[in-house]
Structure 1
Amino acid sequence: MPTSLKSRAEEWDRLIARLDKAGVPPDVRWRTLILYMRNVRGFYFLSERQKSEIQQLIVDTLKARDYTDRHYEEVVKRQEEILLGPHKEKLRMTLDESEGLLRDFRDLMLRKKGDVQELEVLTVGLVESEKSPKEMISAMRKAFHEVVHAMETDMADLTRISMTDALTQLYNRRAFDEHLSASAEACVQAGQPLSLIMIDIDHFKRFNDTYGHRIGDQALRVVAKVLLLHGEEVNGRPDAGRKGRYFPARYGGEEFAVVLNRTPLEEAAQMGETIRSRVEHYNFTIQDNSGNVLHEGVRITVSVGVARLDPAWKGAWAENLLEHADKHLYQAKESGRNKVCCVLEE
């Protein structure tokens, strides 16, 4: 037997021996499932969190020693949730955003329908007039170009709207996902650092319960304003957008994110502290619908997690970067809130 085939056979025998020792019955379905989950952990496109959950699922399955048909279906379902969960969440958010985009597109088409009808009326009027052919063609061409220009402007606005969070005017989750993925790939290829800041408003539910959702929305706008103004300082101009190295977005709910291209972790941590401090010292006044002051000097705080991309992750860069920043954000909240957490030597 060739050496390669012999080594494979020996490896297979060792795997079977381990399954026997773990008490896995000689059932093709169970042994195939466990070996598949074992191999899934090596897939480069999975995040560290997904790999950890798959590992835990294997451990729990072996500990349970329940190899019934019902438990088999439960393990398969749980494995699918781990592998597909992040994609389902993105799909749900995309569908929600697409619904709003379709409404905007419908309104746009209704407006354009009116413009086209006006162009038709103008055309008929010109044909029925006594103007020379040269004059008619000139007037029709001008009117047509005006309609086309208006449509191009509206389509540009529609593209911008589809990437903007309506409440805060920051980039939305869709724009964030696209930008983070593209930035991760570009920075790895160019050998440049990429850092990510995750920000969460402390005790936001309590704030909403105390002051109401309208005031809660005002708090979200306060954080967004701090992020936008800080972005102008870092990028050097207010309209840098995706071309600047500072990209602020509303990640979802009371959570925000800043993608920092060409920015090492230590500098990103300093920016996170600047954001935290400015939010903490921002005072705003709560007024009712009539303009009467209800509360003055209201303040909020945020917890901040910062991480940098590690090229050694070898794939799933955006997912792993997000996971590490989210982990540090959780540490900031667990250790008292209103602070910045990161690992400068990571």
Structure 2
Amino acid sequence: MHSDNPSKKICRFEVGHKYCDLFERLGVPRDDRWRSLLSCLRSTQKYSYYSQEQKKQVADLLIKTLEDADFSEERYCSVLREYQAILASSYAKRLEEALQESADLADDFRRSVYHHKGAVEGLEEKSVAAVRSGADPEDIVAQLRDTFQEVISVLKEDAERLDHICKTDGLTGLFNRRAFDENLKEGVKAWESDKKPLCLLLLDVDNLKEFNDRFGHRIGDQALQTFSQIMQAVAHRSHDDDDICCCRFGGDEFAILLFGDAVTDVVEIAQAIRSRLETYDFVIRDNQGRIIKRNVQMTVSCGFAYAHDFSFDNLGARILDAADSALYEAKDLGRNRVVEYSRKDDSCKFTVLSGGDVA
């Protein structure tokens, strides 16, 4: 569609283009910018690198925009800003978490430096004292060896502590995303080389944003800590750290990697965690410890997938996307559900195993 008037907005979609016909039926003006923006909103669903939550937010934005039928310049700028904010949200979230983790590591490293300074100064004092003591040379060597061993021991402890901090979520004490990535990589390697079973269970605390808005982030943090304790207790009831890896994936999302024989218990573990949290009476306290509300209910949505449903090619990303899709399905069906992802004949299937209408 073209126009001889340069001031008139035009549409360069060809007549008969499926989007052009759709926009005509929906009353979208023949404006390149509006139709391009709405096409972008619509095509976001096709890209795998956006999360299911982002895709849902974009879909909701598209539907609302079409329902409002406000195609003014001001509304165009508003929709564009919302779209950009949605696409940038996951990056901003990861960046914020990474910056906080870096700040925590910097503080700990600073403390370690001061600790090392004291150890090195002690090494110098003891070494000088040993040499000036006039003792037998073999005794002096033995004293120096013991002194150096003390410093080496301190350095080893610090290295182990820093490694632990790098892989631990500060709020919940669970493994963090870095540890998750390492354990997933090892699990994929074990499956590919030895066919050691691997399963990924993703869990998302339902409506945490609304919970935080209502009670505050301090209480929200307590809720995450309580949930992590429930998850740990259930997951490790019959399995040790070699078979189960519990992680805080980020924000209100958690992950459990199951290896070997533990894979057969994924359904039982997911159902037990969902049931425990659903019946848990969360107590809200003020900053003085006084109870201000009892019997606050929380729920969790769960989705999981097995490594054996996929080829070796890019297996880590495939199982993560599959479990995320199952989690999104649980959310989309009304939350507080456990959903299994499975594949057969190149098609995927979602099965509700507990919560809601069980298949």
TM-score, structure 1 length as denominator?
0.68
* Higher alpha-carbon deviation: 99-108 or 146-155: 99-108
Instruction: Tell whether 2:161 aligns with 1:157.
Output: yes
Aligned partner of 2:279 in structure 1 is 281
Aligned partner of 1:106 in structure 2 is 110
Aligned partner of 1:138 in structure 2 is 142
**Structure 1 unmatched runs, 5+:** 1-21, 23-46, 52-81
Secondary structure at the aligned position of 1:214 is classed as helix
Secondary structure at the aligned position of 1:251 is classed as strand
Q: Quick one: which of 182, 199, 203 aligns to 2:203?
A: 199
* Higher alpha-carbon deviation: 256-265 or 143-152: 256-265
- Rate the CA distance shift 1:314–1:122 in 2: closer, same or farther, 3 A: closer
Aligned partner of 2:60 in structure 1 is none
Secondary structure at the aligned position of 1:329 is classed as helix
CA distance in 1, matches of 2:342, 2:236: 25
TM-aligned CA deviation for residue 205 of structure 1: 0.6
- Rate the CA distance shift 1:266–1:298 in 2: closer, same or farther, 3 A: same
Aligned partner of 2:183 in structure 1 is 179
Secondary structure at the aligned position of 1:192 is classed as coil
Q: Is the 8 A contact 1:247 1:260 kept in 2?
A: yes
TM-score, structure 2 length as denominator?
0.66
Amino acid in structure 1 at the alignment position of 2:126: L
Aligned ranges 1:37-48 → 2 under 5 Å: none
Q: Is the 8 A contact 1:200 1:254 kept in 2?
A: yes
Secondary structure at the aligned position of 2:48 is classed as helix
Secondary structure at the aligned position of 1:49 is classed as coil
TM-aligned CA deviation for residue 317 of structure 1: 0.6
Aligned partner of 2:131 in structure 1 is 127
Amino acid in structure 1 at the alignment position of 2:340: C
CA distance in 1, matches of 2:294, 2:302: 26
Amino acid in structure 1 at the alignment position of 2:222: Q
Q: Is the 8 A contact 1:188 1:311 kept in 2?
A: no
Q: Is the 8 A contact 1:187 1:262 kept in 2?
A: no
Secondary structure at the aligned position of 2:255 is classed as strand
Aligned Cα RMSD in Å? 3.3
CA distance in 2, matches of 1:345, 1:314: 15
Q: Quick one: which of 225, 228, 236 aligns to 1:232?
A: 236
Amino acid in structure 2 at the alignment position of 1:113: K
CA distance in 2, matches of 1:202, 1:50: 23
* Higher alpha-carbon deviation: 289-298 or 132-141: 132-141
Instruction: Tell whether 2:303 aligns with 1:299.
Output: no
Aligned partner of 1:76 in structure 2 is none
Aligned partner of 1:49 in structure 2 is 48
Aligned partner of 2:194 in structure 1 is 190
Aligned partner of 1:11 in structure 2 is none
CA distance in 2, matches of 1:182, 1:88: 28
Amino acid in structure 2 at the alignment position of 1:49: S
Secondary structure at the aligned position of 2:170 is classed as coil
TM-aligned CA deviation for residue 92 of structure 1: 8.1
CA deviation string 1:108-135 (max 9, x = no partner): 1221111101111122223333444343
Higher percent of residues as helix: 1
Amino acid in structure 1 at the alignment position of 2:257: V
Aligned partner of 2:350 in structure 1 is none
CA distance in 2, matches of 1:161, 1:319: 26
Aligned partner of 2:257 in structure 1 is 259
Aligned partner of 1:332 in structure 2 is 330
Q: Quick one: which of 163, 168, 171 aligns to 2:172?
A: 168
CA distance in 2, matches of 1:257, 1:194: 13
Once the two structures are aligned, what percentage of the paired residues are identical? 35
Aligned partner of 2:319 in structure 1 is 321
Q: Is the 8 A contact 1:331 1:341 kept in 2?
A: yes
